[in-house]
């Protein structure tokens, strides 16, 4: 299990969560207005709102929304996630055709009360039922520390260039975490991790070794 077991719960990586979410996309998790355009060949179509909410449930961070334009006319909004102020994860960016341009994103508050995507959100949110809801709050896990420190490796200007180039920032995140794990000695990591009550030195080392193995660091 990724990162071993800390705080008595299984800790998963973003890659694990991404695989689970992507494998659960379907017409039943798609925004209603995009259902006519949804197809297994473009499974991310219409999934941005529900996906961003589920990822926010699991990892916290900010919700980000940008305008989508076609032929210089507004056609829709696109939603994604932002962590540590500058790290952006957009699992559904590939849904857009070349003539659909996503503008800059701005942080937005999470919708409250009933919304038009409640049914689709509930369907997709079951994907993460076996993932620890406390993942975003478990600052003792290796992944949590990586995310907090990620602005060192993905500064604002790099994140902006990546967005302009329409790079897959989830893949960039994995590479950045691998670099962080590779460059930091075990003793330094253990000094950074605030050990929870009952966590032994051996358990912390095991979790760190598991993370390094998973990321090839």
pLDDT one-digit tens code per residue, 138-153: 333 455 455 544 444 4
Q: Label residue 17 by pLDDT band (50, 70, 90).
A: confident
Widest pairwise Cα distance in the chain: 59
CA nearest to 29, candidates 13, 55, 14, 49: 49
User: In this model, does residue 118 exceed pLDDT 70?
Assistant: yes
Segment of 3-12, 115-124, 131-140 carrying the highest mean pLDDT: 115-124
Pairwise CA distance, residues 107 & 58, whole Å: 18
Token pair of 54 as six digits: 């589920």
User: In this model, does residue 193 exceed pLDDT 70?
Assistant: no
User: In this model, does residue 215 exceed pLDDT 90?
Assistant: no
Q: Label residue 50 by pLDDT band (50, 70, 90).
A: very high
Q: Where are the domains of the chain?
A: 14-128, 160-215
The separation between CA 189 and the C-alpha centre of its own chain, rounded to angstroms, equals 23
User: In this model, does residue 59 exceed pLDDT 80?
Assistant: no
Confirm if 172 and 162 have CB atoms less than 8 A apart. Answer: yes
pLDDT in tens, 198-210: 456 666 666 667 6
Query: Looking at residues 133-142, what average pLDDT do you find?
Result: 36
Kindly write down the DSSP assignment for every residue of 110-166, as one continuous string. PP-S--TTHHHHHHHHGGGGGS-TTGGG-TTSHHHHHHHHHHHHS-HHHHHHHHHTT
pLDDT of 108 reads 93
Pairwise CA distance, residues 92 & 51, whole Å: 8
- When comparing pLDDT for 12 and 188, which is higher? 188
pLDDT of 31 reads 93
User: What are phi and psi for residue 130, nearest 5 degrees?
Assistant: -95, 0
- When comparing pLDDT for 178 and 67, which is higher? 67
Pairwise CA distance, residues 26 & 24, whole Å: 6
pLDDT of 135 reads 34
Measured between its terminal Cα atoms, the distance across the chain in Å is 17
The separation between CA 92 and the C-alpha centre of its own chain, rounded to angstroms, equals 11
């Amino acid at each position: 299990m990724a990162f071993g077991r800390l705080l008595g719960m299984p800790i998963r990586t973003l890659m694990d969560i991404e695989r689970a979410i992507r494998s659960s996309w379907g017409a039943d998790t798609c925004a209603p207005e995009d259902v006519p355009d949804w197809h297994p060949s473009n499974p991310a179509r219409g999934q941005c709102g529900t996906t961003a909410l589920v990822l926010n449930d699991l990892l916290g961070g900010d919700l980000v929304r940008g305008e989508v334009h076609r032929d210089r006319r507004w056609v829709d909004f696109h939603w994604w996630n932002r962590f540590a102020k500058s790290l952006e994860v957009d699992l559904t960016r590939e849904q857009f055709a070349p003539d659909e341009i996503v503008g800059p994103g701005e942080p937005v508050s999470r919708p409250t009360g009933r919304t038009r995507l409640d049914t689709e959100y509930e369907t997709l949110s079951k994907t993460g039922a076996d993932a620890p809801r406390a993942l975003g709050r478990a600052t003792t896990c290796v992944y949590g520390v990586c995310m907090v420190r990620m602005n060192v490796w993905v500064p604002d200007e790099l994140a902006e260039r990546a967005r302009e180039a329409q790079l897959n920032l989830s893949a960039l995140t994995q590479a950045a975490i691998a670099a962080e794990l590779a460059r930091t000695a075990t003793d330094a990591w253990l000094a950074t991790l605030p050990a929870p009550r009952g966590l032994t030195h051996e358990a912390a080392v095991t979790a760190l070794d598991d993370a390094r193995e998973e990321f090839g660091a």
